[in-house]
Structure 1
Amino acid sequence: MSFHTPVSLSARRESQLVRLLQAAIIGILAVGLWQGNAGIAVNASVGLLVTFLPAFFDRNYSITMNGGIVLWITLAMFLHALGTLSLPALGFISPYKSTWWWDHMTHALSSSLVAGVAYAVTRALEEHTEYISMPPTFMFVYLLLFVMAFGVIWELIEFYVAVVSNLVGIGKVLTQYGLDDTILDLFYNTIGGLLVAVFGTAHLTDLSDQLRAKFESPNR
């Protein structure tokens, strides 16, 4: 295989990887419960639930995401859950604490998911109604602004969750490390949105077409 040969996975291989990552998240959840660590358990639980959303939408709303998108979602949730995992007995420190770029990577991945959802829904609405029209340049700017706004909201959620966790005494579920960390989070959120705006929209067209069909269906 040459350097320029594109690497692709079969649908079966993508499905296997998704199941493997889900199993790994379950393992992380089990460790969190065993340690009595609310941060690990809550983040792994939420991440695991998110990985089952594609199957939920497929079963209940006939909206089918291709294997690549499902793998994208699952990988983002796995990396976030893994980032919270700490095994002191084995000398394993959570990647969020031991690896300086881990938080930046997961923010970029998560924000790319947000941008992907925003694009798919907005394009479906644009195709569904004549009252919404977004030229490519405007869509590009819209995705970036949407991700930036969502990032600000998420930082506020992180702050208040940390405050409530301290008041209740259940340990840190979400953690902020100061203003500099918040600014970096917002920067990498924007990077994730930028990547979707530039490269990812072509892979989300089928999903947006399915959403448009649901909007137009009288039985939705």
Structure 2
Amino acid sequence: MGTRLVPSGRTATRLLQAAIGVVLVEGLLLQNPGVVVNALLSLGVTFLPPVLARDWEVRLDTRLTLYIAVAVFLHSVGMLGFYESVWWYDHLTHTLSATVVAGVGYATAKAFDEHSDAVHFPGSFLALYVLLFTLALGVFWEVLEFGARLLATAVGMDPILFQYGIDDTLLDLVFNTAGAVLVALFGSGALRPLVESLTTRFDRSFGER
């Protein structure tokens, strides 16, 4: 189906975008830069699939498009206080975000594998690659959170990203790992349309095998 959602999928995505818009307005009313910035970034992510389809001819499956929208919606809502008040909320959003990151890493590597006869990634290597790719970006995100908190403290502003100490960081990485493992075990079928779309794009950009 590509990024052309069936009516129910299109409606669900629009509703999620509207809900993120409500979070954005709430952030503006609260004068909370963390809520505002994260809501804007989340909205941007929801509009990325049609941009990829239009400009790069990379098409995401309807279910994957919705899944990404749900993940960023939950993150933006979490900035309203759920990260602090609901003990498991951060674990949920980190797991969902990790599956999105792992899915991008898996689909890209698999597409290169299918595009080029000179490259072959065995299943075991792909699983390890997905895990390391996700953990590397997870560590980068934790460093970004730490730096953002230090910067906000230095200039006397509310932090845009939150980091709650080493225990929180380690737990985040555990749930990042869980997301990567889920993709490595069960993601091949769901990500197949994206792999095929990326492979076609690579063929057009770099030439046939």
What band does the TM-score fall into relative to the shorter chain? over 0.9
Q: CA deviation at 1:188?
A: 0.2
Q: Which runs of 5+ in 2 are unaligned?
A: none
Q: Do residues 128 (structure 1) and 110 (structure 2) align?
A: no
Q: 1:84 matched to which residue of 2?
A: 79
Q: Which runs of 5+ in 1 are unaligned?
A: 1-9, 86-93
Distance 1:123 1:131 in 2: 13
Q: 1:22 is matched by which residue type in structure 2? A: Q
Which has the higher mean CA deviation after the structures are superposed, 203-212 or 111-120? 203-212
Q: 1:58 is matched by which residue type in structure 2? A: A
Distance 1:153 1:130 in 2: 32
Distance 1:158 1:201 in 2: 31
The 3 A distance-change label for structure 1 pair 136 and 218 is closer
Which has the higher mean CA deviation after the structures are superposed, 154-163 or 11-20? 11-20
Q: Do residues 204 (structure 1) and 199 (structure 2) align?
A: no
Let me know the Cα RMSD of the aligned residues.
Answer: 1.5
Distance 1:111 1:219 in 2: 29
Q: CA deviation at 1:55?
A: 1.0
Within 5 A, what are the aligned runs for 1:1-220?
Answer: 11-85=6-80, 94-218=81-205
Q: 1:185 is matched by which residue type in structure 2? A: D
Q: Which has the higher contact order (CA 8 A, sep 6+)?
A: 2
Q: CA deviation at 1:132?
A: 2.0
Return the TM-score normalized by structure 1.
0.88
Q: 1:46 is matched by which residue type in structure 2? A: L
The 3-state SS of whatever aligns with 1:163 is helix
Q: 2:51 is matched by which residue type in structure 1? A: F
Q: CA deviation at 1:219?
A: 8.7
Q: How many correspondences in the alignment?
A: 203
Once the two structures are aligned, what percentage of the paired residues are identical? Answer: 42
Q: CA deviation at 1:194?
A: 0.8
**Which runs of structure 1 show a deviation greater than 4 angstroms over 4 or more consecutive aligned residues?**
none
Q: 1:195 is matched by which residue type in structure 2? A: L
Q: 1:32 is matched by which residue type in structure 2? A: G
Return the TM-score normalized by structure 2.
0.93
Q: CA deviation at 1:68?
A: 0.3
Q: CA deviation at 1:131?
A: 2.8
